[in-house]
Amino acid sequence: MANIRFLPFAHTALKNLFSRPATTKYPFEPAVYPERMRGHIEIAIADCISCGLCARACPPGALKTDRAAGTWTIDRFDCVQCGSCVIACPKKCLRMAPGYCAPGPDKRSETFTRPGFPPPGEKPAAPQPAGPAPEEPVVAQAGGKPVNDTSTCVFCTLCAKKCPQGAITVDRAAKTWKLDADSCVGCGICVSACPKKSLKLR
Amino acid sequence: MAKQSIVPFGPQHPVLPEPVHLDLVLEDEVVVGAVPSIGFVHRGLEKLVETKDFKNYVYIAERVCGICSFGHGMGYCEAIERVMNVEIPPRAKYLRTIWMEMSRVHSHLLWLGLLADALGFESLFMQSWRLREKILDVFDLMTGGRVIFSVNTPGGVLKDVDGDMLRQLLRTVDELQKELRPVADSFLREYTVGSRLHGLGVLGPEQAVELGAVGPMLRASGVRYDARQLGYAAYPELDFEPVVLTEGDSYARCELRLRELTQSFDLIRQAVGKLPEGPIAVPVKGNPDGEYFMRIEQPRGEAVYYVRANGTKFLDRFRLRTPTTSNIPPMLELLHGCQLADVALLILTIDPCISCTER
Amino acid sequence: MEPINEIIPIEMDQFLSTVIQFKMDKMRLVQICASRLPGQYELSYCFARDLDMWTLRLTVDENAPVPSITQMYPCAFLQENETAELFGVKIENIVNDYQNRLYRIDRETPFKEKG
């Protein structure tokens, strides 16, 4: 019984009485998130090329891309905020942002449409009659697989280096260019990397 | 002979947040037999490895458990790296070690809080978890997550840390060490705590080995085995001795975890001091082919990661033997002859994680 | 010195006697694991003493019975039940046999088939 101490927590209790609480009054005081916090995924949809690499890298399968409709869909309730898509994205248009996803009464997904595509729900509009179509940057239209025009190709291997899937094999000495069509996702990065413009997506 | 009765215990129990069910055979108040039954939360995560890219599976591996998450991701990556003969950069090794030890700190503080809660010592529970919150804040700062970190990848780590983060970490460790002292005192010297723990559930060294106990259970029984000595991550370059106690009772398991906290503080300081500059990951090319049994020391004990690859990007088999799988048989042994009122406390002293046992 | 981490292939007739030998050498059962081969199962039993680990590797046909090691290592019952239930390995005479009722799952032997 010798080790019964008298009011061992008196010191802590007194200290707690006169110091600020360890907790914050959350809904009234905004929560401060560190910069690296993995809260939710944000997309700069204008840079997206609908390559689908993010959807392949997503462990729970929360992402969907539709190349024809130019959409990127995320099911926020399936997303586990692992950041795998952010690493996989070849255009770096995905970002992990601080702040938790809002809860909701039902599961639903959120769809983003690339500029130049009709918003979801609408019928694909007929090509606009008036005005020339906006000038397409070299990479903007992804779709199809790259085809090499060997007459202009200099076998510089830049396309092979840039390919996020490692689907292109270029042999400088033998002057061959090979595409592994199964692993190619048609992201079009090789096309934009090609200094001789000899690659085309088809 | 007294009349025997069977009392169901769990899977929902006020003291134990784990989904384990026990059929306790009682003679009066004394437990004479216990049949465990798990399987309420089997998710089949091992099976998913056959349909997910091995590089993406690490995100699933670390989601097996909410407390040992860093270790599961790291164990899986280390196993893959062994199969593929990848040597990760020294900085990645040290970062993994730092995060592993931080995980140990937060896991042990969580356990101490649960123990206090099981004893009905609410303020001690609150104090332990208040301390745990500090280490979680540093995790949030360094990795972007509080319990699921997603920083491991085959070939290294995904996020680097800067000087500010390391200073914040060291400051927190110093604070924790100072503030842990009165809390540790209450666990080790308080009469009420001691009277519940002393001499409860004694496990001898031979018994512990025979029943396959791991981690703090094994070391509290006087067996000197700590999987950190196997030499993964940066542990071979750090100076530490496994904490070993000989009593083998619940009090020893509590004291051991408190001492391991101090050891982890020391390891974090050493690792931060020696943290080399350089890259944090090497690119991993190709697909694994081969198999490996990897053992690492989780906060709860030794965990085994078995990886069997076939040269494609999908693995054939991933097996994760969690510490709790090994610790359930010794726990059943401890229950023999204990009082009904001590059952929850004894189950708690093995630091069970049933959800990760079932995967 | 690197700790031993070795896989020893073993035949069925040697298996139980080796386990008994390990038991007498005061080894700790680390884990039991099954994996699938075409028409066969590969069972790995890991045993450790201090830092060294040895794995007994048993290859059995799909319907061949496998003796339980729970007589020597009672603590193996959870993992043997799991192997029997998830893979459908015919493990016989388990002390504490759960008769495929360890996990509450809808499908029988979900790990037996690929995918």
pLDDT digits (tens, 9 = 90+) for B81-138: 988 888 889 999 899 999 999 999 999 999 999 888 888 888 888 888 989 999 998 9
**Cβ of C26 and B209 within 8 Å?**
yes
Asked if residues A193 and A153 have their Cβ atoms less than 8 Å apart, the reply is: no
CB pairs under 8 A between B and C: 89
Q: Chain B: list its partners (3+ Cβ pairs within 8 Å).
A: A, C
Confidence class of residue B45 from pLDDT cuts 50, 70 and 90?
Answer: confident
pLDDT > 50? residue A136: no
pTM for the complete prediction? Answer: 0.83
pLDDT at A132 over 50: no
Mean pLDDT score of chain C: 84
Its domain, for residue B179, covers 4-358
Q: Tell me what the pLDDT averaged over chain A comes to.
A: 77
Q: Give the residue from C24, C28, C85, C97 with the most B CB atoms within 10 Å of its CB, the best one to mutate.
A: C28
In this predicted structure, the answer to whether residue B338 has a pLDDT above a threshold of 70 is yes
pLDDT in tens, B217-266: 889 888 888 888 888 888 888 888 888 888 888 899 889 999 999 999 99
Task: Supply the pLDDT for residue A120.
Answer: 62
Predicted confidence at residue B109, as pLDDT, reads: 92
Residue A4 domain-assigned (yes or no): no
B58: exposed, middle or buried (Cβ count in 10 Å: 0-12, 13-18, 19+): buried
How many structural domains comprise chain B? 1
Q: Which of B57, B59, B190 sits opposite A8 (nearest CB)?
A: B190
Which is more confidently placed, A3 or C60?
C60
Asked if C46 reaches chain B (Cβ–Cβ under 8 Å), the answer is yes
Measured in whole angstroms, the distance separating CA C14 from the mean position of its chain's CA atoms is 15
Q: How far apart are CA B210 and CA B329, in angstroms?
A: 10
Say yes or no: C55 contacts chain B, CB-CB below 8 A: yes
Architecture of domain C5-92: 2-Layer Sandwich (3.30)
Number of domains chain A contains: 2
Q: CB distance B158–A38 less than 8 Å?
A: no
Mean pLDDT value across residues A66-81: 84
pLDDT band for A134, please (50, 70, 90 cuts).
very low
User: How far is the C-alpha of C61 from the C-alpha of C82, rounded, in Å?
Assistant: 18
Q: Is the separation of the CB atoms in C18 and C46 below 8 Å?
A: no
Q: Is the pLDDT of residue B354 over 60?
A: yes
Q: Which residues of A touch B56 (CB under 8 A)?
A: 57-59, 84
Residues A154 and A92 in one domain: no
> Average of pLDDT values for B33-57?
84
Domain of A44?
A: 40-113
**pLDDT confidence band for A130 (50 / 70 / 90):** very low
* Residue B53 DSSP code: -
Cβ contact B186–A9 (<8 Å): yes
Inform me whether the C-beta atom of residue A36 falls under 8 Å from chain B C-beta atoms.
yes
Contact assignment for B47 to C111 by CB distance below 8 Å: yes
Across the interface, of B50, B229, B325, the residue whose CB is closest to C115 is B50
d(CA B76, CA B139): 20
Share of chain B above pLDDT 70, in %: 100
Q: How far apart are CA C21 and CA C19, in angstroms?
A: 5
Choose, out of A9, A23, A40, the residue to mutate when testing the contact with B (most B CBs < 10 Å).
Answer: A9
* B127 contacts on A by Cβ (under 8 Å): 12
Task: Judge whether residue A121 has pLDDT over 80.
Answer: no
Rounded to the nearest integer, the mean pLDDT of chain B is 87
* Confidence (pLDDT) at B172: 92
Measured in degrees and rounded to the nearest 5, phi and psi for residue B141 equal -70, -45
Domain ranges of chain C: 5-92
Check which CATH number belongs to the domain holding B248 and give it: 1.10.645.10
SS (H, E, C) chain A: CCCCCCCCCHHHHHHHHHCCCCCCCCCCCCCCCCCCCCCEEEECHHHCCCCCHHHHHCCCCCEEEECCCCEEEECCCCCCCCCHHHHHCCCCCEEEECCCCCCCCCCCCEEEECCCCCCCCCCCCCCCCCCCCCCCCCCCCCCCCEEECCCCCCCCCHHHHHCCCCCEEEECCCCEEEECCCCCCCCCHHHHHCCCCCEEEC
- Contact list in A for residue B150 (CB cut-off 8 A) is 38, 81-84
Q: Quick check: A37 and B145 CB within 8 A?
A: yes
User: Residue A102 domain-assigned?
Assistant: yes
Best interface-test mutation with A: which of B70, B76, B142, B191 has the largest number of A CBs within 10 A? B191
> Scanning the structure block, which residue is given the tokens 């009090």?
B251
Does the pLDDT at position A124 exceed 70? no
Interchain contact A87–B (C-beta under 8 A): yes
Domain presence at residue A150 = yes
- Count CA atoms closer than 13 A to A129's CA, side-chain side: 0
CATH of the domain at A76: 3.30.70.3270
Say what the pLDDT of residue B173 is. Answer: 92
Residue B170: phi and psi, rounded to 5, are -65, -40
pLDDT at B105: 92
pLDDT of residue A122: 54
How confident is the model over B9-28, as pLDDT tens digits?
Answer: 878 777 777 788 888 888 88
Residues of C within 8 A of B293 (CB-CB) are 5, 7, 44, 46, 53, 55
Is the minimum CB–CB distance between B209 and chain C shorter than 8 Å?
A: yes
- Chain B partners within 8 Å of C31 (Cβ): 304, 306, 319, 321, 325-326
- Residue A188 located in a structural domain: yes
**With an 8 Å Cβ cutoff, are B142 and A36 in contact?**
yes
Residue of B nearest to C96 (CA): B35
Specify if A152 maps to a domain.
Answer: yes
Chain A: closest CA distance from residue B229 (Å): 31
> Residue B146 to residues A36, A94, B249, C66: CA-CA distances in angstroms?
11, 22, 32, 44
- Look at residue A76 and tell me if it is in a domain: yes
How distant, in Å, are the alpha carbons of B121, B122, B258, B291, C56 from that of B115?
Answer: 9, 10, 12, 39, 38
Burial class (CB in 10 A: 0-12, 13-18, 19+), B29: exposed
Q: Which among A69, A98, A113 is the end of a domain?
A: A113
Residue A118 in domain: no
Q: Is residue C95 scored above 70 in pLDDT?
A: yes
Using CB atoms, which residue from B36, B37, B229 is nearest to C51? B229
Q: Are B144 and A36 in contact (CB under 8 A)?
A: yes
Indicate whether A96 and A51 sit together in one domain: yes
Q: Are A37 and B140 a contacting pair at CB < 8 A? A: yes
Q: How many CB pairs under 8 A join A and B?
A: 60
